[in-house]
Chains A and B, each alone.
Chain A
Amino acid sequence: MNARLEGMRNTAPPSARRRVAWPASLGGATGPLIGLVLLGVGFSLASPYFLSLRNALNVLDQVTVLGIVSIGMTAVIVVGGIDLSVGSVLAFSMMVMGWLNQDYDVPLVLCIVAAIVVGGVCGAVSGLLVTRARLPAFIATLAVMSVARGMANILTDGQQIVGYPDWFTRLSTVRHFGFLSLTVALVVVLVIIAGAYMTFRAGGRNLYAIGGSSEVARLAGIPVRTVTLLVYTGCGVLCGVAAVALASRLDSSQPSAGLGYELDAIAAVVIGGASLNGGVGGIAGTVVGVLIIGTLHNGLNLVGVSPFVQQIIIGVVVAGAVTFDTLGRRNR
């Protein structure tokens, strides 16, 4: 690993290295973290139901899907891309899983694998459109978003699929040791792996170099196109994983699932300190961003704020959190 780190030092351009130093460590997430803590304090004062272990676990349950999707989105945004297709790809993977299971009696375990593979294929298509066809990421993933949503609907003619076996729904509902459902545990594991990879491995550091300046990265010997393709593929795979988690949580597959998730995921990543220009961001920050979004929804429901007012508050807090972070970075 040391050798690899050395390799990274040689390949990453000096400017990119300086820019990535902060956000990659937990230090980069301190701004959003303060916001999260304040949010928690505010809601604890406002609602007697907020501050309890049970509710904290609820929030974790509620952000599993967003959390998994946001990990992939972080990598995509760090390389300077964007992926608008995550919600649709999630729905498509979810429908493939249910459809194979229900209409063709494929064992559920294989269906889960199929869902993840389908997600990866969709991601790879986005990646190829971006790297080979040279489409802007926004357009490429917008196209995939539309295609995937259509395919999700075609499989069952828009019908939802209900009725998974008990063991499958228990993945997300049974809390082992009194607190950890398997889906939440999965998120934790994925976060640790992705965070460690992006912070400590040369391959992970390459993402920042590409996002900082893909031309410089290419000249430095990083296989930019291959890495970018892999990043989109990885993001798709994670959508497939998220689809499985969501199907378990809903005990059904719906072609309309995941509508608008791309925006929540992008918001979480940016709240977490990433820049849409690429080269900046990190898993730790994203986790905090995801928790801010989750806590906000949960807390406002517990307090009983009217749904219309909720939308206003969420918009203001998102804008506030990001402003806070950008101003903070400028001061630094």
Chain B
Amino acid sequence: MSTKFKVVASAIALAAATVFASQAMAQDKKVTLGLAVANLQADFFNQIKQSVEAEGKRRGIEVVTVDAKGDAATQVNQIQDLITRNISALIYIPAGATAASVPIKAAKAAGIPVVAVDRNPPDAPADTFIATDSVSAARTLGDYVCKVTGGKGNIGIVQGQLGTTPEMDRDKGFSEAVAQCPGLKVVAKQASNMWMQDEGFSIAQDMLQRNPQLDVFFGRADALAMGAAHAVKVANPDHKVIVVGFDGDVAGLKAVRDGILEATMTQQTQLMGRMAVQSALDLVAGKTVPKEQLQQAQLTTKDNAAPFIEKHP
């Protein structure tokens, strides 16, 4: 019996200790923002989270962060918990293929304003929506590929998770640009499941195996592109193969600086994080905020990667 109690006591004590440690902050009766992140394993979301938390700290606001680990059902639970916790406003980065409207409806029912970031449920839009104009950014990237290849070449595309908004938008913009550039042809397309680097590696490797004449790889996210770049390096083809990515996360930017990636589109995560906090506070104060706040992504090449690594835009 005594052993039993020792073990359970230590387990509970450990949980309780952590719980009490964070409690000091939790008790303050000031503005509290809830931040529901889709998946902290993705650097893009992690950047936004860090920006929101830094901005919150700077303004003396408490930010409570929850991570859905990519699962929409988990996220619904977490937002229910945030609402119970009486947050003043919710910053919502939807998890799952397209954004779920349930959390927004729940928050609205509780009278809590919602700022959606990156994705916005079409059937129940948030009070304001902050994101990158992905279609236009992907078009810019496509135009750049057209320019550096001299308008000629075979493209292999390593797609993100099918059915997600970023995948669809990036496809749309890039396809528009390729259509304008008659010498460029998309000859291979394959989807990944998790936007991960190892998937990019094996997908690109198989594409090169099937089609050694590929000149360009477009990884729909930097991680995918870096996997593809590694596949190119391993295959060691007899002609130059350029690889472009999207997102401009830190690893991607470093790869661009080092010439591993030709270019990426850097999303302004820090700016979006700060805007999310500002918009949330404005909504709490009853000010009007535009329904959509779309940001431009910046074409990043070897020439301008360094400052972004220093300080992410």
Q: Which residues of A contact B (CB under 8 A)?
A: 31, 34-35, 38-39, 42-43, 45-49, 52, 54-55, 58, 61-62, 65, 153, 156-160, 162-163, 169, 246, 249-252, 254-260, 296-310, 313, 316-317, 319-321, 323-324, 327-328, 331
Contacts and interface: CB of A to CB of B under 8 A. Distances in A.
B11 A321 contact: yes
Contacts of A159: 97-98, 162-163
Contact of B19 (A251, A255, A299): A299
Nearest to B164: A158
Contacts of A310: 67
A97 to B, nearest CB: 15
Contacts of A300: 19
A328 B6 CA distance: 11
Q: Please list the 3 inter-chain residue pairs (A to B) with the smallest Cβ-Cβ separation, ordered nearest first.
A: A320-B11, A158-B162, A307-B67
Contacts of A298: 77, 81
B77 A250 contact: no
Contact of A252 (B14, B19, B100, B191): B100
B84 A320 contact: no
A7 to B, nearest CB: 37
Nearest to B26: A304
B276 to A, nearest CB: 17
A305 B161 CA distance: 30
Given A254-B96, A302-B85, A62 B11 contact: no
Contact of B23 (A46, A260, A306, A308): A46
A306 B65 contact: yes
B67 A320 contact: no
A256 B23 contact: no
A178 to B, nearest CB: 16
B285 interface: no
B14 A256 contact: no
Nearest to B101: A251
A315 to B, nearest CB: 11
B96 A160 contact: yes
A249 B73 contact: yes
A303 B80 contact: no
Given A160-B163, A254-B96, A324 B8 contact: yes
B148 interface: no
Interface string B148-175: 0000000000000111000000000000
Given A46-B23, A301-B85, A250 B3 contact: no
A250 B76 CA distance: 7
B3 A162 contact: no
A256 B15 contact: no
Contacts of A328: 4
A297 B68 CA distance: 11
Given A49-B85, A302-B81, A256 B97 contact: yes
A48 B4 CA distance: 30
B71 A250 contact: no
B73 A308 contact: no
B64 A256 contact: no
A58 B73 contact: no
A58 B16 contact: no
Nearest to A31: B4
A158 B81 contact: no
Interface in B1-25: 1, 3-4, 7-8, 10-12, 14-16, 18-20, 22-23, 25
A319 B15 CA distance: 12
A35 B76 CA distance: 26
Contacts of A259: 70-71
A156 B163 CA distance: 9
Nearest to B14: A316
Nearest to B159: A158
Given A156-B163, A301-B66, A331-B3, A313 B18 contact: yes
Contacts of B121: 162
A302 B87 CA distance: 10
A162 B101 CA distance: 9
Nearest to B64: A304
A259 B73 CA distance: 10
Nearest to A52: B84
B90 to A, nearest CB: 13
B27 interface: yes
B97 A43 contact: no
Nearest to B4: A328
A157 B162 contact: yes
B70 A256 contact: yes
Nearest to A321: B11
A42 B15 contact: yes
A299 B81 CA distance: 8
Of the listed residues B25, B73, B161, the one surrounded by the most CB atoms of chain A closer than 10 A to its CB is B73
B72 interface: yes
